[in-house]
Amino acid sequence: MRKLTGLIVGLFIIISSCVVSTPLYTSGGNGGNPQEVNEQLFYDALSPYGTWVNSSDYGYIWYPDVNNDFYPYASDGRWVYTDYGWTWVSDYPWGWAAFHYGTWDFDADNGWFWVPGYDWAPSWVIWRRADGFYGWEPMRPGMNEGMSIRDGLADPDRWVFVPDRDFDRPDPVRYFAARNNNMQILRNSRIIDNVYVNNDRRGLRYNSGPDLAEVSRATGRNIGRVFITESDRPGTRLSRNNLQIYRPNIQRSNGMDVRPAPPSVRDLDEINRERNRNSNLNRENNELNRRSYEQRQRNTEQEQNQLNMQRNQRNEEEREQVTRRQQAQQQRAEHQQQSTSGDQRNQSRRESRRNRRSESTSTPVNHRDNNNINNQNPGVEEKQEDKR
Protein backbone atom coordinates (compact mmCIF):
# COMPACT_ATOMS: atom_id res chain seq x y z
CA MET A 1 0.00 0.00 0.00
CA ARG A 2 2.87 2.41 0.87
CA LYS A 3 4.57 1.69 -2.50
CA LEU A 4 1.29 2.30 -4.35
CA THR A 5 0.86 5.64 -2.56
CA GLY A 6 4.40 6.71 -3.48
CA LEU A 7 3.80 5.74 -7.11
CA ILE A 8 0.61 7.80 -7.26
CA VAL A 9 2.35 10.84 -5.73
CA GLY A 10 5.21 10.54 -8.23
CA LEU A 11 2.83 10.36 -11.19
CA PHE A 12 0.94 13.39 -9.83
CA ILE A 13 4.18 15.44 -9.63
CA ILE A 14 5.16 14.51 -13.20
CA ILE A 15 1.71 15.36 -14.56
CA SER A 16 1.67 18.67 -12.64
CA SER A 17 5.06 19.71 -14.02
CA CYS A 18 3.87 18.98 -17.55
CA VAL A 19 0.73 21.03 -17.01
CA VAL A 20 2.73 23.98 -15.67
CA SER A 21 5.06 23.99 -18.66
CA THR A 22 2.36 23.81 -21.34
CA PRO A 23 1.41 27.54 -21.45
CA LEU A 24 4.78 28.44 -22.98
CA TYR A 25 5.02 25.95 -25.85
CA THR A 26 1.99 24.03 -26.97
CA SER A 27 0.98 23.26 -30.54
CA GLY A 28 2.49 24.45 -33.80
CA GLY A 29 6.09 24.68 -34.97
CA ASN A 30 8.25 25.22 -38.00
CA GLY A 31 6.11 25.56 -41.07
CA GLY A 32 2.95 24.82 -39.07
CA ASN A 33 0.25 26.89 -37.50
CA PRO A 34 1.22 29.42 -34.80
CA GLN A 35 1.24 28.12 -31.25
CA GLU A 36 -1.55 28.82 -28.80
CA VAL A 37 -0.29 30.39 -25.55
CA ASN A 38 -1.33 33.09 -23.09
CA GLU A 39 0.35 36.22 -21.79
CA GLN A 40 2.29 34.19 -19.22
CA LEU A 41 4.72 33.62 -22.10
CA PHE A 42 5.69 37.30 -22.07
CA TYR A 43 6.01 37.46 -18.29
CA ASP A 44 8.39 34.51 -18.14
CA ALA A 45 10.37 35.09 -21.34
CA LEU A 46 11.07 38.81 -20.79
CA SER A 47 11.83 38.74 -17.05
CA PRO A 48 15.58 38.11 -17.54
CA TYR A 49 15.84 41.18 -19.75
CA GLY A 50 14.03 43.84 -17.74
CA THR A 51 11.68 44.73 -14.89
CA TRP A 52 7.95 44.09 -14.65
CA VAL A 53 5.92 46.78 -12.91
CA ASN A 54 2.26 46.81 -11.93
CA SER A 55 0.82 49.99 -13.42
CA SER A 56 -2.52 51.46 -12.35
CA ASP A 57 -3.13 52.55 -15.96
CA TYR A 58 -2.10 49.48 -17.98
CA GLY A 59 -1.62 46.57 -15.58
CA TYR A 60 1.70 44.79 -15.96
CA ILE A 61 4.22 46.80 -17.98
CA TRP A 62 7.83 46.02 -18.76
CA TYR A 63 10.94 48.24 -18.59
CA PRO A 64 13.82 46.76 -20.64
CA ASP A 65 17.39 46.81 -19.34
CA VAL A 66 18.81 49.04 -22.06
CA ASN A 67 21.02 52.10 -22.46
CA ASN A 68 19.65 55.57 -21.89
CA ASP A 69 19.66 56.29 -25.63
CA PHE A 70 17.37 53.34 -26.40
CA TYR A 71 14.47 54.05 -28.76
CA PRO A 72 11.85 51.48 -29.90
CA TYR A 73 12.02 50.60 -33.60
CA ALA A 74 15.29 52.48 -33.90
CA SER A 75 17.96 50.93 -31.66
CA ASP A 76 19.68 47.73 -32.80
CA GLY A 77 17.44 46.69 -35.65
CA ARG A 78 16.39 47.22 -39.28
CA TRP A 79 13.43 47.10 -41.66
CA VAL A 80 12.87 44.26 -44.14
CA TYR A 81 9.95 43.79 -46.49
CA THR A 82 7.85 40.64 -46.00
CA ASP A 83 4.45 39.42 -47.18
CA TYR A 84 2.99 41.38 -44.25
CA GLY A 85 4.65 44.68 -45.10
CA TRP A 86 7.69 46.38 -43.60
CA THR A 87 8.79 44.22 -40.67
CA TRP A 88 11.10 45.33 -37.88
CA VAL A 89 13.91 42.81 -37.23
CA SER A 90 15.46 43.44 -33.85
CA ASP A 91 18.85 42.34 -32.56
CA TYR A 92 17.54 42.17 -28.99
CA PRO A 93 16.76 38.64 -27.76
CA TRP A 94 13.33 39.87 -26.63
CA GLY A 95 12.57 41.73 -29.89
CA TRP A 96 10.26 38.97 -31.18
CA ALA A 97 7.76 40.03 -28.50
CA ALA A 98 8.15 43.72 -27.72
CA PHE A 99 8.24 44.93 -31.35
CA HIS A 100 5.45 42.71 -32.70
CA TYR A 101 2.96 42.47 -29.84
CA GLY A 102 1.74 45.44 -27.83
CA THR A 103 2.77 49.09 -27.81
CA TRP A 104 5.31 51.46 -26.27
CA ASP A 105 5.10 54.59 -24.18
CA PHE A 106 7.59 56.90 -22.51
CA ASP A 107 7.90 57.82 -18.85
CA ALA A 108 10.02 60.90 -18.21
CA ASP A 109 11.30 59.40 -14.95
CA ASN A 110 11.88 55.80 -16.01
CA GLY A 111 12.18 55.81 -19.80
CA TRP A 112 10.48 53.64 -22.39
CA PHE A 113 8.16 50.84 -21.27
CA TRP A 114 6.24 48.16 -23.15
CA VAL A 115 2.58 47.25 -22.68
CA PRO A 116 1.89 43.65 -23.81
CA GLY A 117 -0.66 42.99 -26.54
CA TYR A 118 -2.38 39.96 -27.99
CA ASP A 119 -2.01 40.50 -31.75
CA TRP A 120 1.09 39.98 -33.88
CA ALA A 121 2.05 42.54 -36.54
CA PRO A 122 5.24 43.26 -38.48
CA SER A 123 5.42 46.44 -36.36
CA TRP A 124 3.10 48.67 -34.38
CA VAL A 125 4.11 52.10 -35.64
CA ILE A 126 2.63 55.14 -37.41
CA TRP A 127 4.17 55.94 -40.79
CA ARG A 128 4.80 59.27 -42.53
CA ARG A 129 6.36 60.44 -45.79
CA ALA A 130 8.15 63.75 -46.36
CA ASP A 131 10.28 65.02 -49.23
CA GLY A 132 13.45 62.96 -48.96
CA PHE A 133 12.43 61.18 -45.71
CA TYR A 134 10.48 58.26 -44.30
CA GLY A 135 9.39 58.49 -40.67
CA TRP A 136 7.72 56.37 -38.02
CA GLU A 137 6.54 56.63 -34.42
CA PRO A 138 5.82 53.82 -31.91
CA MET A 139 2.09 53.51 -31.33
CA ARG A 140 0.94 54.42 -27.83
CA PRO A 141 -1.06 52.03 -25.63
CA GLY A 142 -4.74 52.02 -26.57
CA MET A 143 -4.21 53.17 -30.14
CA ASN A 144 -5.57 51.21 -33.08
CA GLU A 145 -4.98 51.36 -36.81
CA GLY A 146 -7.58 54.08 -37.43
CA MET A 147 -6.32 56.27 -34.61
CA SER A 148 -2.73 55.87 -35.82
CA ILE A 149 -3.61 57.24 -39.26
CA ARG A 150 -5.17 60.34 -37.69
CA ASP A 151 -2.24 60.90 -35.33
CA GLY A 152 -0.12 63.89 -36.30
CA LEU A 153 2.12 66.34 -34.52
CA ALA A 154 1.27 65.50 -30.90
CA ASP A 155 4.84 64.71 -29.84
CA PRO A 156 7.62 65.39 -32.39
CA ASP A 157 10.30 63.79 -30.20
CA ARG A 158 8.66 60.37 -30.58
CA TRP A 159 9.32 60.36 -34.31
CA VAL A 160 12.28 58.92 -36.18
CA PHE A 161 13.13 60.13 -39.68
CA VAL A 162 15.68 58.68 -42.06
CA PRO A 163 16.61 59.77 -45.60
CA ASP A 164 14.54 57.71 -48.01
CA ARG A 165 17.68 56.51 -49.84
CA ASP A 166 18.90 54.90 -46.57
CA PHE A 167 15.60 53.44 -45.36
CA ASP A 168 16.41 49.75 -45.97
CA ARG A 169 20.01 49.78 -44.77
CA PRO A 170 21.03 47.19 -42.14
CA ASP A 171 22.14 49.99 -39.79
CA PRO A 172 19.60 52.82 -40.32
CA VAL A 173 20.42 54.36 -36.93
CA ARG A 174 23.60 55.78 -38.51
CA TYR A 175 21.50 57.85 -40.92
CA PHE A 176 18.69 59.18 -38.69
CA ALA A 177 17.87 62.86 -39.02
CA ALA A 178 18.54 65.06 -36.00
CA ARG A 179 15.56 65.12 -33.63
CA ASN A 180 15.56 68.91 -33.47
CA ASN A 181 14.52 68.86 -37.16
CA ASN A 182 11.49 66.63 -36.52
CA MET A 183 8.91 69.39 -36.25
CA GLN A 184 9.95 70.97 -39.53
CA ILE A 185 9.89 67.59 -41.28
CA LEU A 186 6.54 66.68 -39.73
CA ARG A 187 4.92 69.91 -40.91
CA ASN A 188 5.86 69.00 -44.49
CA SER A 189 4.92 65.33 -44.22
CA ARG A 190 1.85 63.24 -44.94
CA ILE A 191 0.44 60.06 -43.41
CA ILE A 192 1.14 56.70 -45.07
CA ASP A 193 -2.07 54.70 -44.78
CA ASN A 194 -1.28 51.40 -46.52
CA VAL A 195 -3.63 49.30 -44.41
CA TYR A 196 -3.03 45.55 -44.43
CA VAL A 197 -5.73 43.08 -43.39
CA ASN A 198 -4.32 39.83 -42.02
CA ASN A 199 -7.03 37.23 -42.44
CA ASP A 200 -4.78 34.60 -40.85
CA ARG A 201 -4.99 36.60 -37.60
CA ARG A 202 -8.72 37.15 -37.19
CA GLY A 203 -8.82 39.92 -39.81
CA LEU A 204 -6.27 42.03 -37.96
CA ARG A 205 -5.66 45.47 -39.54
CA TYR A 206 -2.39 47.40 -39.32
CA ASN A 207 -0.33 49.86 -41.33
CA SER A 208 2.17 48.02 -43.54
CA GLY A 209 4.30 51.08 -44.27
CA PRO A 210 5.72 52.63 -47.46
CA ASP A 211 5.08 51.18 -50.89
CA LEU A 212 7.80 48.72 -51.92
CA ALA A 213 8.16 50.07 -55.47
CA GLU A 214 8.47 53.63 -54.15
CA VAL A 215 11.18 52.61 -51.68
CA SER A 216 13.07 50.81 -54.45
CA ARG A 217 13.01 53.99 -56.57
CA ALA A 218 14.12 56.15 -53.63
CA THR A 219 17.02 53.85 -52.65
CA GLY A 220 18.03 52.99 -56.20
CA ARG A 221 18.13 49.33 -55.21
CA ASN A 222 15.99 46.35 -56.18
CA ILE A 223 14.63 45.36 -52.75
CA GLY A 224 13.79 41.70 -52.48
CA ARG A 225 10.97 40.21 -50.47
CA VAL A 226 11.80 38.31 -47.26
CA PHE A 227 9.69 35.25 -46.43
CA ILE A 228 8.58 34.52 -42.88
CA THR A 229 8.75 31.04 -41.42
CA GLU A 230 7.47 30.02 -37.98
CA SER A 231 9.78 29.24 -35.08
CA ASP A 232 8.71 27.10 -32.12
CA ARG A 233 10.95 28.94 -29.64
CA PRO A 234 11.22 32.63 -28.72
CA GLY A 235 13.66 34.47 -30.95
CA THR A 236 14.30 35.94 -34.41
CA ARG A 237 16.75 34.82 -37.10
CA LEU A 238 17.27 36.59 -40.43
CA SER A 239 19.12 34.71 -43.15
CA ARG A 240 19.19 36.18 -46.66
CA ASN A 241 15.56 36.16 -47.81
CA ASN A 242 14.19 34.17 -44.87
CA LEU A 243 13.03 35.49 -41.50
CA GLN A 244 12.44 32.82 -38.87
CA ILE A 245 10.47 34.33 -36.02
CA TYR A 246 8.46 33.15 -33.07
CA ARG A 247 4.91 34.56 -33.29
CA PRO A 248 2.36 32.46 -31.37
CA ASN A 249 -1.31 33.28 -30.99
CA ILE A 250 -1.78 34.88 -27.58
CA GLN A 251 -4.99 33.76 -25.94
CA ARG A 252 -6.66 35.94 -23.33
CA SER A 253 -6.62 34.42 -19.88
CA ASN A 254 -10.18 35.45 -18.95
CA GLY A 255 -11.87 32.95 -16.67
CA MET A 256 -8.69 31.23 -15.54
CA ASP A 257 -8.54 30.27 -11.89
CA VAL A 258 -4.96 31.52 -11.60
CA ARG A 259 -4.33 34.61 -13.66
CA PRO A 260 -0.95 34.88 -15.40
CA ALA A 261 1.56 37.13 -13.67
CA PRO A 262 5.28 37.92 -13.89
CA PRO A 263 7.52 35.84 -11.61
CA SER A 264 8.76 39.08 -10.05
CA VAL A 265 6.93 42.40 -9.94
CA ARG A 266 8.24 45.69 -8.60
CA ASP A 267 6.25 48.67 -7.48
CA LEU A 268 6.83 51.81 -9.50
CA ASP A 269 6.94 53.94 -6.35
CA GLU A 270 9.61 51.62 -4.96
CA ILE A 271 11.62 51.99 -8.18
CA ASN A 272 11.31 55.77 -7.96
CA ARG A 273 12.41 55.72 -4.31
CA GLU A 274 15.35 53.52 -5.20
CA ARG A 275 16.21 55.82 -8.08
CA ASN A 276 16.06 58.80 -5.73
CA ARG A 277 18.34 57.01 -3.29
CA ASN A 278 20.72 56.14 -6.08
CA SER A 279 20.50 59.68 -7.34
CA ASN A 280 21.32 61.03 -3.90
CA LEU A 281 24.20 58.57 -3.62
CA ASN A 282 25.40 59.60 -7.05
CA ARG A 283 25.22 63.25 -6.07
CA GLU A 284 27.14 62.52 -2.87
CA ASN A 285 29.71 60.51 -4.80
CA ASN A 286 29.95 63.26 -7.38
CA GLU A 287 30.43 65.81 -4.60
CA LEU A 288 33.12 63.67 -3.00
CA ASN A 289 34.76 63.17 -6.37
CA ARG A 290 34.59 66.90 -7.02
CA ARG A 291 36.17 67.72 -3.66
CA SER A 292 38.80 65.06 -4.16
CA TYR A 293 39.52 66.40 -7.61
CA GLU A 294 39.76 69.97 -6.34
CA GLN A 295 42.08 68.84 -3.52
CA ARG A 296 44.24 67.02 -6.03
CA GLN A 297 44.23 70.14 -8.16
CA ARG A 298 45.28 72.26 -5.18
CA ASN A 299 47.97 69.78 -4.24
CA THR A 300 49.14 69.71 -7.81
CA GLU A 301 49.19 73.51 -7.92
CA GLN A 302 51.12 73.67 -4.67
CA GLU A 303 53.60 71.09 -5.90
CA GLN A 304 53.86 72.93 -9.18
CA ASN A 305 54.38 76.24 -7.40
CA GLN A 306 57.05 74.69 -5.22
CA LEU A 307 58.74 73.20 -8.27
CA ASN A 308 58.53 76.56 -10.00
CA MET A 309 60.07 78.28 -6.98
CA GLN A 310 62.87 75.75 -6.86
CA ARG A 311 63.38 76.09 -10.60
CA ASN A 312 63.40 79.88 -10.35
CA GLN A 313 65.84 79.73 -7.43
CA ARG A 314 68.14 77.47 -9.43
CA ASN A 315 67.86 79.76 -12.43
CA GLU A 316 68.63 82.79 -10.23
CA GLU A 317 71.65 81.04 -8.74
CA GLU A 318 72.84 80.08 -12.20
CA ARG A 319 72.38 83.67 -13.40
CA GLU A 320 74.33 84.97 -10.39
CA GLN A 321 77.12 82.49 -11.08
CA VAL A 322 77.21 83.57 -14.72
CA THR A 323 77.26 87.22 -13.64
CA ARG A 324 80.10 86.59 -11.20
CA ARG A 325 82.06 84.73 -13.85
CA GLN A 326 81.50 87.53 -16.31
CA GLN A 327 82.55 90.15 -13.75
CA ALA A 328 85.66 88.15 -12.88
CA GLN A 329 86.49 87.80 -16.56
CA GLN A 330 85.93 91.51 -17.06
CA GLN A 331 88.15 92.37 -14.06
CA ARG A 332 90.88 90.08 -15.33
CA ALA A 333 90.61 91.67 -18.76
CA GLU A 334 90.79 95.16 -17.28
CA HIS A 335 93.77 94.19 -15.09
CA GLN A 336 95.47 92.66 -18.06
CA GLN A 337 94.75 95.74 -20.12
CA GLN A 338 96.12 98.00 -17.37
CA SER A 339 99.24 95.85 -17.05
CA THR A 340 99.72 95.96 -20.78
CA SER A 341 99.27 99.75 -20.84
CA GLY A 342 101.78 100.19 -17.95
CA ASP A 343 104.29 97.96 -19.69
CA GLN A 344 103.80 99.93 -22.88
CA ARG A 345 104.35 103.23 -21.05
CA ASN A 346 107.44 101.92 -19.28
CA GLN A 347 108.70 100.60 -22.58
CA SER A 348 108.09 103.97 -24.18
CA ARG A 349 109.99 105.72 -21.38
CA ARG A 350 112.88 103.33 -21.67
CA GLU A 351 112.99 103.76 -25.43
CA SER A 352 112.81 107.54 -25.01
CA ARG A 353 115.72 107.53 -22.55
CA ARG A 354 117.73 105.30 -24.83
CA ASN A 355 117.05 107.60 -27.73
CA ARG A 356 118.17 110.63 -25.78
CA ARG A 357 121.32 108.91 -24.63
CA SER A 358 122.05 107.79 -28.13
CA GLU A 359 121.50 111.28 -29.46
CA SER A 360 123.75 112.82 -26.81
CA THR A 361 126.59 110.45 -27.56
CA SER A 362 126.32 110.63 -31.33
CA THR A 363 126.21 114.47 -31.72
CA PRO A 364 129.52 116.48 -30.84
CA VAL A 365 129.07 119.65 -28.87
CA ASN A 366 130.49 122.86 -30.34
CA HIS A 367 131.26 124.94 -27.28
CA ARG A 368 132.23 127.86 -29.20
CA ASP A 369 129.00 127.98 -31.08
CA ASN A 370 127.10 127.39 -27.94
CA ASN A 371 128.89 130.23 -26.22
CA ASN A 372 128.05 132.47 -29.10
CA ILE A 373 124.45 131.40 -28.98
CA ASN A 374 124.38 131.88 -25.27
CA ASN A 375 125.87 135.31 -25.54
CA GLN A 376 123.30 136.19 -28.12
CA ASN A 377 120.42 134.54 -26.21
CA PRO A 378 121.22 134.57 -22.54
CA GLY A 379 117.85 132.97 -21.67
CA VAL A 380 118.64 129.86 -23.57
CA GLU A 381 121.57 128.96 -21.35
CA GLU A 382 119.38 129.36 -18.31
CA LYS A 383 116.71 127.04 -19.80
CA GLN A 384 119.28 124.44 -20.67
CA GLU A 385 120.64 124.66 -17.16
CA ASP A 386 117.17 124.18 -15.79
CA LYS A 387 116.71 121.11 -17.98
CA ARG A 388 119.94 119.62 -16.65
**Residue 136 CB coordination number (10 Å):** 25
Q: Which residues contact 159 (CB under 8 A, 6 or more apart)?
A: 128, 135, 136, 137, 182, 185, 186
Q: What angle do CA 38, 91, 239 make, to 5 degrees?
A: 95
42, 247 in Cβ contact below 8 A?
Answer: no
Contact 195, 206 (CB under 8 A): yes
| pLDDT reported for residue 301 | 83
Q: What is the pLDDT of residue 50?
A: 95
> CA 201, CA 346: separation in Å to the nearest integer?
131
Residues of the chain with pLDDT under 50: 1-32, 373-374, 380-383, 385, 387-388
What integer pLDDT is reported at residue 211 of this predicted model?
Answer: 96
Separation CA 161–CA 179 (nearest Å): 8
Measured CA distances, 263 to 64, 65, 116, 266, 385 (Å)? 16, 17, 16, 10, 144
- How many residues does the structure list for the chain? 388
Q: Give every CB contact of residue 39 below 8 A, 6+ residues apart in sequence.
A: 116, 118, 250, 252, 253, 260
pLDDT at 360: 76
User: pLDDT at position 73, please?
Assistant: 97
Q: What is the pLDDT of residue 284?
A: 76
Residue type, 189: S
Picking from 18, 36, 34, the residue whose alpha carbon sits closest to that of residue 26 is 36
